[in-house]
Amino acid sequence: MDESGDSGQPQPGAGGTDPAAPEKGKPQRPREPGGGILMGRPFGVPVYVAPSWFLVAALITWVFGGQLDRVLPELGAVRYLVSLFFAIAFYASVLVHELAHTIAALRYKLPVRRIQLQFFGGVSEIEKESETPGREFVLAFVGPLLSLVLAGVFYVAMKFVEPGTVPGVLLAGLMISNLIVAAFNLLPGLPLDGGRMLRAVVWKITGRAMSGTVAAAWVGRALAVAVLIGLPLLTQTGGLGNNPHDVSGMDTVTDALLAAILAAIIWTGAGNSLRMARLREHLPDLRARTLTRRAVPVEAATPLSEALRRANEAGARALVVVDGHGDPKAVVREAAIVSVPEHRRPWVAVSALAQDLTDGMKISAELTGEELLDTLKASPATEYLVLEETGEIYGVLSTADVERAFVAAMARPAA
C-alpha cells in the first residue's frame, strides 16, 4: 500500500534540548532520517527498507510458494526460492511506484525526505505541500499510473514465455499484483493516492486546500470501515473469486486480521492527514518576531546575579553576551541558568553559561511558518539570536517557545 504524502513535515523542536548536545560553538550536523536499512539514494533521495518488510517478504514467500506447489509441483523446495524472487520483484515494483512520486515532487521543487518500503507497501515522505491542486493531482496520480504501466509491461512479456512455466507464473503474478496496487491506491480516500486526487479536485472546486483534506480524510475513514467489514465478508461469500466452501477457520482469522491491519493503517493515515492540514492552516501564525523573548546585552564577566537583575528591571527574559563593541558573541542558555543555585549566582560569570553563536544560530526576526521551522531544523540549538534586518539585536528565540506554539497551533480548530 502506498501512503505517499507530507508525512515528513518539519517537526517542532527539531533543535530542542538534547542530552548529547554539541560542544559549545560547534553546530550539530542534522541527523540522517532513519527508518530501516539504507538501500541507496536514487535521485539523491535515501531509500530505506523497514524491518517489517522482512516479515512481509517471508509471508509472501510462504503464500506464493503454496500456490506454486499447486501449479508447478515438480519444483519441490525450489519453489520457495522462486517465491522469494517474486517478493523482491514485487517490492521493486513498489519502489518504482514511489520513485514516480519522488521524481514528480523533485520536478515541482518539493523536497523529499526519504522513501521507505515497509509492511504494506511504500511511503514517499514529501516535506512540503503542493502549491496548486493541479500539481497535487499529478503528484498523486503518477504512482498508480506507473503501477498500471508495469502491469502492462508484464502482460506483454507474458506473450513471449510459455504459460505454466516459472517465468510465466512469475510474470502473471507481477502483473496481477501491480494491478492490485494501482487499483487499491486509486481508492478515493486519504492516505491513498486516490484520496490525494480527491483532495485536489475538492481543493480546485472550493478554492481551499483544507476543504479537500477534510473531504478526502472522511472518505478515507469510511474506506477503513468498509475494508474492516467488507474484506472478510467478500472472502466468506466468494466475492473474490474463491470457493466459499474451501474457506477454513484459519483463513477466516487471517482475513479478519489482514482487514483489521489495513483498516487501522487507513484510519490512522486519514487522521494524520487532518492533523497536518490543521497545522498548515495555522503555520503562518508561527512568527519569530512574536515568539522571541526580549533580551538584555551583558559582557562576559558579568556575574549571573547582576545580569538577571538587569533583565528583571528591563522586563527581559533572556541574556546575550556581547563584546566591548556591543557585538553579540554568545547566548546564555536558560537551562544553564536554572541549574545554578541562587546563592552561587553572584560568583558565576555569564560566560560560563553561554553558548557561542554560530551563523546558523543567528536568524531573522522576519521568519515565519515553515521557513522558520526549516531554519531551526537546519541548525539545531536550544536558543537562537534574533536580529533585525539592520543587524541590531531583537531578542532570543527559545525552541521551547516554538514547541509550545506548534502544539497550540495543532490544537486549534481550522477556520
Distance CA 220, CA 199 (A): 11
pLDDT value, residue 23: 37
C-alpha cell at 134: 493541479
Confidence grade of residue 216 (pLDDT, cut at 50, 70, 90): very high
Asked if residue 120 has pLDDT above 90, the reply is no
| Torsion over CA: 403, 404, 410, 415 (sign) | negative
pLDDT in tens, 315-345: 999 999 999 888 999 999 888 999 999 999 9
In this structure, of 64-73, 127-136, 157-166, 334-343, the range with the lowest mean pLDDT score is 64-73
pLDDT value, residue 363: 94
Kindly report the number of other CB atoms within 10 A of residue 376's CB atom. Answer: 25
pTM above 0.85, yes or no: no
Share of the chain above pLDDT 70, in %: 85
Catalytic residue among 3, 98, 334, 370: 98
Distance CA 123, CA 4 (A): 5
pLDDT in tens, 348-403: 999 999 999 998 999 999 998 878 888 888 888 889 999 998 889 999 999 989 88
pLDDT value, residue 143: 95
Using the 8-state DSSP alphabet, how is residue 127 labeled?
Answer: -
| Residue 98 annotated among the catalytic residues of the structure | yes
User: b/e map of 149-188 (b: 16 or more CB within 10 Å)?
Assistant: ebbeebbebbeeeeeeebebbbbbbbbebbbebbebbbbb
pLDDT value, residue 12: 32
Mean pLDDT computed over 134-159: 96
Between 140 and 55, residue with greater pLDDT: 140
pLDDT value, residue 29: 37
Mean pLDDT computed over 58-86: 87
Distance CA 193, CA 380 (A): 33
pLDDT value, residue 3: 52
Distance CA 126, CA 307 (A): 45
pLDDT value, residue 28: 39
pLDDT in tens, 33-60: 456 899 999 999 999 999 888 888 888 8
